[in-house]
Amino acid sequence: MAIHPIEFRYGTPEMKNIWESENKLQKMLDVESALSQAEAFFGIIPQKDADEIAKKANTKYVTLDRVNEIERQTNHDIAAVLKGLAEQCEGDSGEYVHFGATSNDIVDSSQSLLFTESIDVLKEKTKSLSELILKLAAENKEKVCIGRTHGQHALPTTYGMKFALWADELHRQFDRLESAQKNLCVAMMDGAVGTTAALGEIGWDVHKKVGEILNLPPATITNQVLQRDNHAEFMMVMANIATTLDKIALEIRNLQRTEIMEVGEYFDPEKQVGSSTMPHKMNPITAERICGVARVVRSYVVAAMENNPLWHERDLTNSSCERIIFPEACILTDYILNLTIKLMSNLVFYDENIERNLNMTNGLIMAERLMAELTRKGMGRQTAYALVRECAIKANKNQELLSDIILTRDEIAPYLSPADVEEIMDPHTYIGSSKEIINEILESSKTWF
């Protein structure tokens, strides 16, 4: 019976397949195979026995059911894998399985393989989302809208600016994933306290050779585990990505509010239901789910950081925690990346409302421009600010056009004509360098990935 929502509601097949039990078992068998081949290379075990171990280090032979059966007896997951592999090997080859290694050599090296696959999926989807949002930036760089600070109407901006900002941030998240991958995805084969003592003087060479076979850089130094600052870094990167997706979804949710309704997620009127009791509802459920799941991903960071300080050369407190947070964080981060791609692929614009909201304040949003133009014409900046502020307060109080109030002031005439004021009050022409900024982002994006 399914219990966890990841089992039936959240997640994508590609990420779930990475963390499902049989693939995890195969990755552990891959590490055991690499160990045997490295030891044969240095003459520690016979090549024919290493080849037999490598041949049988496959879930076709070492089945998940058999490993689980052994673990119920041993109460030790790695010991169960070792016995399951050894009993499949012909002759005496099984006697050489796991020679010189400790359990966490297998756990951490195999997890590095899982992380490599996971990060590749996350990078590809982060790239796809960034490219999608860059396209929206290009298409909407002249779609002028009201910018809001502190929830209040501020100055005109463009939807192109919003989208380019998000795409640029996603590019940084892609870079963070690559950086975390370099630190996190490494191999180790160092024994019980990291000294490689069981493998003798050639142990450090075996450690490096295992990394070469697994196509992973060898860890520079370990104790019984790869140091968990690297794992915490990866969890923080996923939390950071989740926060970017939360930011995007939160903005869409806010812009879809009834009283704003500038953009929103697509709603299928033929099939979709917004409420079990309110027939009119069309809720931003995709965006809300992104925001909700992002909170869960961020919550794993504290646990990951607490897994770094362990007793002496290592204790077991990180293990049970990581069995939960590693797969869940990867699956959920990938899932909300998918949701955000869906959200942004089907975004609906309500242009009439964008224009309505831009002009909602009777020109108050052009107060800065008025002040700046008066200053350019020769009025002192502080004087211009005080004058425009006084007129803006009056216009707001009386619900009048700011331009009408401004033109009643005698101080304005020496600096601005009625035609000047009319031109100044057009919000569509007050977007500064936004097109240049967006174009530079679009141009630089050609070399991002």
C-alpha to C-alpha distance for 177 and 188, rounded to whole angstroms: 21
C-alpha to C-alpha distance for 8 and 18, rounded to whole angstroms: 16
DSSP, res 219: P
Per DSSP, the residues of 293-335 read HHHHHHHHHHHHHHTSS-STT--SHHHHHHHHHHHHHHHHHHH
Question: Left (φ > 0), alpha (ψ -120 to 50) or beta: where does 166 sit?
Answer: alpha
How are beta strands 263-265 and 347-349 bridged, if at all? antiparallel
Q: Is 275 a catalytic residue?
A: yes
Question: What residues contact residue 144 under an 8 Å CB cut-off, 6+ apart?
Answer: 156, 157, 158, 354, 358, 427, 428, 431
| 76 C-beta neighbours (distance < 10 Å), count | 13
C-alpha to C-alpha distance for 114 and 23, rounded to whole angstroms: 9
C-alpha to C-alpha distance for 439 and 449, rounded to whole angstroms: 18
Q: What are φ and ψ of residue 157, in 5° steps?
A: -140, -165
Q: Is 76 a catalytic residue?
A: no
Using alpha carbons, select from 397, 412, 410 the residue that is nearest to residue 362: 397
C-alpha to C-alpha distance for 98 and 58, rounded to whole angstroms: 15
Question: What residues contact residue 137 under an 8 Å CB cut-off, 6+ apart?
Answer: 160, 161, 163, 164, 167, 438, 441, 442
Per DSSP, the residues of 90-153 read STTGGGGTTTT--HHHHHHHHHHHHHHHHHHHHHHHHHHHHHHHHHHHHHTTT-EEEEEETTEE
Length of the chain equals 449
Q: Which candidate in 21, 275, 417, 444 is catalytic?
A: 275
Q: Would you please indicate which residues are annotated as catalytic (active-site) residues?
A: 150, 275
